[in-house]
């Protein structure tokens, strides 16, 4: 890739020029021929579902990024100025240069965002306004009449793309190795400031507010009994839904139980000491992203808004460290899977707005909460920490399901959709 050591006004002029040409339809020659080939080789598979009826205050939505934005992305990738290579043979100084260069090369020359749009647009999507903010969500109803409504909430640096491969098995279990009684009606919102949801223009959209908005959404969709699931920020939202006793909420499922600070009683035993050591190590050497986003989201936002490679690095590092892959995320996710998610952040300019959730809630609301609604937990081996069941029993008065999966990490649904789906079927079988 070309090197541009001085991003001077000529670079900005070039970007303006390519945007103008794209608007006139003159940039097609910049797009790789592999784009159309990839589209033909990877058709989107149809999913059986019932299209939701019209709901007042809910408008249909389809993803359609302007071509000029895609052409601008290709140009910016071609003009990346790279730093020197890291001085260590591992990830201890951050994401290795060669790994990111390979990802950026695929993004520039082979990746096709239109295929990502097709994945999203294969499902019913909507926008609804709650407390003055537009909330984007997928709403996929099952053909099975007794399906259980569920709201699935993503985290950072995730998006609704995390759940795409689970939608079919959840809504149409008879076509995916399950039974009719396993069926769910699925609602997947984009967090405020993420993806196609609106960006808050004032403070106050922390986890408790988001949870209230999700309760409003499920009520607006007409669901009187429903369940909720989440990991990462999604676990925080889901926990607050239970804390607030959201109307109609029957049970929750977490793949990241929020048990920090640890609910220790007396002298910690060896199992507890091991988990405490994981939390201390994470805080000491792996939480820089959270402290930066929690204290200076605007400052990091400039880099994330201006450089697609910066945005890719910010997310790809976490995919490498937090998947159950030993820093080989390509072993559990395809490059296109990862770039679907990264591209959504870039194309919606969500770097700063997503980071602000850390300033809103990371040191206040994202913490141990005592719950008295039914709680199910699935632990995945590649998760950031592994709490003992006794901690969950101390704060979840109605813990009724606890299981440790064979594979998977922090992005459980993204990495292991089959195992994730199986966990939800088992966890909610008794609350239908």
| Helix residue spans in 2-88 (DSSP H) | 9-23, 34-41, 67-78
Catalytic residue status for 232: yes
Query: How many Å apart are CA 80 and CA 338, to the nearest integer?
Result: 20
Q: Please tell me which residue in 139, 209, 253, 410 is annotated as part of the active site.
A: 410
Query: How many Å apart are CA 259 and CA 277, to the nearest integer?
Result: 14
Secondary structure (3-state) at 390: helix
Q: Please tell me which residue in 194, 358, 385, 396 is annotated as part of the active site.
A: 358
Rounded to 5 degrees, φ, ψ at 218 are -65, -35
- On whether the CB atoms of residues 214 and 189 are closer than 8 A, the answer is yes
- On whether the CB atoms of residues 208 and 240 are closer than 8 A, the answer is yes
Peptide bond into 261 cis (omega under 30): yes
Catalytic residue status for 358: yes
Q: Which residues of 240-255 are buried (b: 16+ CB within 10 A; e: fewer)?
A: bbbbeebeebbbbbbb
Residue for token pair 């997928």: 138
Q: Is the dihedral of CA 65, 235, 280, 404 positive or negative?
A: negative
Query: How many Å apart are CA 165 and CA 408, to the nearest integer?
Result: 15
Q: Please tell me which residue in 71, 112, 232, 324 is annotated as part of the active site.
A: 232
Query: How many Å apart are CA 184 and CA 171, to the nearest integer?
Result: 5
- On whether the CB atoms of residues 128 and 137 are closer than 8 A, the answer is yes
CA Rg value for the chain: 22
Strand 133-140 to 58-61 pairing: unpaired
Query: How many Å apart are CA 408 and CA 375, to the nearest integer?
Result: 21
Catalytic residue status for 396: no
- On whether the CB atoms of residues 253 and 376 are closer than 8 A, the answer is yes
Q: Where are the beta strands (DSSP E) in 81-145?
A: 125-130, 133-140
Rounded to 5 degrees, φ, ψ at 18 are -70, -35
Catalytic residue list = 232, 358, 410
């Amino acid at each position: 890739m070309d090197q541009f050591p001085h991003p001077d006004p000529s670079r900005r002029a070039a970007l303006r020029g390519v945007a103008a040409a794209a608007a006139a339809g003159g940039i097609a020659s910049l797009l790789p021929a592999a784009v159309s080939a990839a589209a033909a080789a990877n058709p989107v598979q149809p999913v059986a579902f019932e299209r939701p009826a019209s709901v007042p205050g809910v408008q249909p939505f389809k993803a359609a990024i302007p071509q000029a934005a895609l052409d601008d992305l290709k140009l910016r990738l071609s003009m990346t100025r790279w730093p020197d290579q890291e001085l260590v043979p591992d990830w201890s100084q951050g994401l290795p240069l060669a790994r990111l260069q390979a990802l950026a090369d695929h993004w520039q020359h082979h990746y096709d965002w239109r295929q990502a749009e097709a994945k999203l647009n294969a499902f019913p999507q909507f926008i609804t306004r709650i407390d003055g903010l537009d909330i984007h969500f997928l709403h996929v109803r099952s053909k099975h009449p007794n399906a259980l409504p569920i709201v699935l909430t993503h985290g950072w640096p995730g998006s609704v793309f995390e759940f795409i491969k689970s939608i079919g098995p959840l809504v149409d279990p008879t076509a995916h190795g399950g039974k009719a009684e396993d069926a769910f009606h699925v609602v997947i919102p984009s967090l405020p400031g993420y993806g196609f949801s609106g960006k808050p223009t004032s403070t106050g959209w922390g986890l408790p507010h988001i949870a209230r908005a999700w309760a409003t959404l499920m009520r607006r969709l007409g669901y009187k009994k429903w369940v909720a699931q989440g990991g990462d920020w999604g676990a925080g939202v889901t926990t607050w839904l239970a804390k607030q006793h959201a109307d109609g909420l029957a049970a929750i499922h977490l793949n990241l139980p929020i048990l920090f600070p640890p609910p220790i009683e007396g002298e910690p035993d060896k199992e507890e000491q091991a988990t405490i050591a994981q939390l201390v190590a994470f805080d000491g050497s792996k939480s820089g992203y959270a402290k930066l986003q929690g204290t200076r989201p605007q400052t990091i936002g400039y880099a994330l808004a201006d450089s697609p490679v910066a945005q890719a690095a910010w997310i790809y590092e976490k995919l490498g460290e937090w998947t159950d892959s030993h820093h080989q995320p390509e072993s559990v996710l395809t490059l296109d899977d990862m770039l679907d998610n990264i591209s959504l952040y870039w194309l919606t300019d969500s770097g700063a707005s997503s980071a602000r959730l850390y300033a809103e809630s990371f040191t206040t609301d994202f913490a141990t909460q005592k719950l008295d609604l039914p709680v199910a937990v699935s632990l995945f081996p590649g998760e950031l920490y592994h709490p003992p069941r006794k901690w969950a029993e101390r704060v979840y008065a109605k813990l009724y399901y606890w299981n440790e999966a064979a594979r998977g990490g922090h992005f459980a649904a993204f990495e292991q959709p089959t195992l994730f789906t199986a966990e939800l079927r088992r966890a909610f079988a008794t609350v239908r």
